[in-house]
Amino acid sequence: QGEPVRVLVTGAAGQIAYSLLYSIAKGDVFGKDQPLILVLLDITPMMTVLEGVVMELQDCALPLLREVIPTDKEEVAFKDLDIAILVGSMPRREGMERKDLLKANVKIFKSQGAALDKYAKKTVKVVVVGNPANTNCLIASKSAPSIPKENFSCLTRLDHNRAKSQIALKLGVTANDVKNVIIWGNHSSTQYPDVNHAKVNVKGKEVGVYEAIKDDSWLKGDFILTVQQRGAAVIKARKLSSAMSAAKAICDHVRDIWFGTPAGEFVSMGVISDGNSYGVPEDLLYSFPVVIKDKTWKFVEGLPINDFSREKMDLTAKELTEEKETAVEFLSSA
């Protein structure tokens, strides 16, 4: 079976991790014959809860799980990592300004970036889930100068899966029949779910989504709004944020980094914008369509961008630029 892969999950006592850890530990992400060491980081007050999570992982009696290491110490958590999944972040409280939220998170991700820089393997792949995910990811990367920028990504796969699923539901096909939807930009309500290049398999024939749905006003209106605001809709209904679907999206994202994307398909990931051909400013952590091979992503090039898309892509870039400027200010004082 070879060497175990060493995986860190932060915010490990939280509800996304509760859905995520079982999927990873049973082999859904790194394969059915890849042994694992799971490192679980959370804040000191959560250590008792985390002990309960460790007990449950033990009680799952999983053959791939070689070791589980719960900790509240960064020097333990970040040591020799192959993969870091940074789920833990400061959640937004009632009446909290976005600026306050950014400030609290800059502190966390500066510290975790520095710990990655100091303790993790230089080949570590870092996936940021905790919000504001794009900017948190950029801060972590800037705080880990010895790890390639390309090794950092943030989760927009949940938005990608939401878009895919809405199209499938509308057409009465399975989600698997829909491919190449794109999420551009920020993991926020300014994100742009784009199906101009998406394809759907209808009765054995591959057609463009616009052609298949034949309802442009829905595709340019309610479809986009539904995907943008889906997270809030789930919270309104469940009184809790979307944990099951977030955990599934994290598994998809990490599995694609590890094993690559299927031929002819691309996926959405927040990555560093340097060298993109879509007019997105450099040095932003922005969601793009990518293909992955040998654990390395590349931008999908040459997709034509219409005026409707251009405007939406620029709007979310503007939000990310503002977020970045605020965060970088805090970074120097953090």
Crossing angle (nearest 10°) for helices 47-59 and 15-25: 30
* Average pLDDT value for the chain: 96
Q: Tokens 């690559």 belong to which residue?
A: 260
105 is in an annotated binding site: yes
Determine the pLDDT at residue 93: 77
Q: Residue 265's pLDDT is what?
A: 98
Q: At what angle do helices 133-142 and 98-119 cross, to 10 degrees?
A: 40
- Distance between CA 19 and CA 248 in Å, rounded? 8
Model confidence over 9-29: pLDDT tens digits? 999 999 999 999 999 999 999
Q: What is the mean pLDDT of the segment spanning 194-199? A: 98
pTM beyond 0.85, yes or no: yes
Ligand-binding annotation for 130, yes or no, is yes
| Catalytic choice (160, 187, 197, 253) | 187
Q: Kind and range of the H or E element at 229?
A: none
> Is 42 annotated in some ligand binding site?
yes
Q: Is 187 annotated in the active site?
A: yes
CB 310 within 8 A of CB 280: no
Domains of the chain, earliest start first? 5-154 (3.40.50.720), 156-321 (3.90.110.10)
Residue 113: pLDDT band (50, 70, 90) is very high
Identify the CA nearest to 74 among candidates 126, 125, 111, 121. 111
